[in-house]
Structure 1
Amino acid sequence: MNLKAFLNALTGKQESKDIAKERLRLVLVHDRATVSPEFLDKIKEEMISVISKYLEIDETKTEINMHKSDGTAVLEANLAVKAIRRNA
């Protein structure tokens, strides 16, 4: 961080390029967090496919959600594990 950026951070001032970057980042996060149900279903299928090699999953109790938290897109996966596959 250079001196100017440091002083701007201390005073709460931002340069217009920094403001533009932050706005673009927020737009991209919003686009990523706003996904179709079909997209989430595809993620769920693929995650279950991979994880099922190691764990027996109850697909009816598995939930995949995407939301925003502190300006970041968050993918939450709640997987109901029936058993661990010891032979994996």
Structure 2
Amino acid sequence: MAFMDFFRKKNSGEVAKDRLKLLLISDRANCSPEIMEAIKNDIIKVITKYMEIDCEGLDIQITQTESEGGHGTVPVLCANIPVKDMKKRS
């Protein structure tokens, strides 16, 4: 089950890569790594209620983009979540 893959033990290289990636993203978004991880976990928890996803291919980032009025930048949540299948609702 893909959701259970999310809890599998990662090797030290994967852990270091994930931490660095999270640190870079959180720095760009002016958001702590703990908050970023909490957001990611909440998104996964909600989405897996309705569909089976590929947690390995999951990519969630908070970046900055120009505001529509051109008055500075605003944070943007970008999520790339590969969907394997929709769950049947009964």
Give TM-score, length-normalised by structure 1. Answer: 0.57
Structure number with greater Rg is: 1
Identify unmatched segments of 5+ residues in structure 2: 1-26, 67-72
Whole-angstrom distance in 2 between the partners of 1:81 and 1:44: 16
Deviations 1:22-49 (A, max 9, x none): xxxxxxxxx9922233322211111010
Q: For the aligned residues, what is the CA RMSD?
A: 2.1
Q: Counterpart in 2 of 1:18?
A: none
Whole-angstrom distance in 2 between the partners of 1:32 and 1:73: 9
> What amino acid maps onto 2:75 in structure 1?
A
Q: Counterpart in 2 of 1:51?
A: 47
Following superposition, the deviation at residue 80 of structure 1 comes to: 1.1
Q: Counterpart in 2 of 1:81?
A: 83
Identify unmatched segments of 5+ residues in structure 1: 1-30
Written as runs of structure 1 = structure 2, the 5 A alignment for 1:36-75 is 36-70=32-66, 71-75=73-77
Aligned length in residues: 58
Question: Per residue, is there more strand in 1 or in 2?
Answer: 1
- Please list every run of at least 4 consecutive aligned residues from structure 1 whose deviation after the TM superposition is greater than 6 angstroms: none
> What amino acid maps onto 1:44 in structure 2?
K
Whole-angstrom distance in 2 between the partners of 1:47 and 1:58: 13
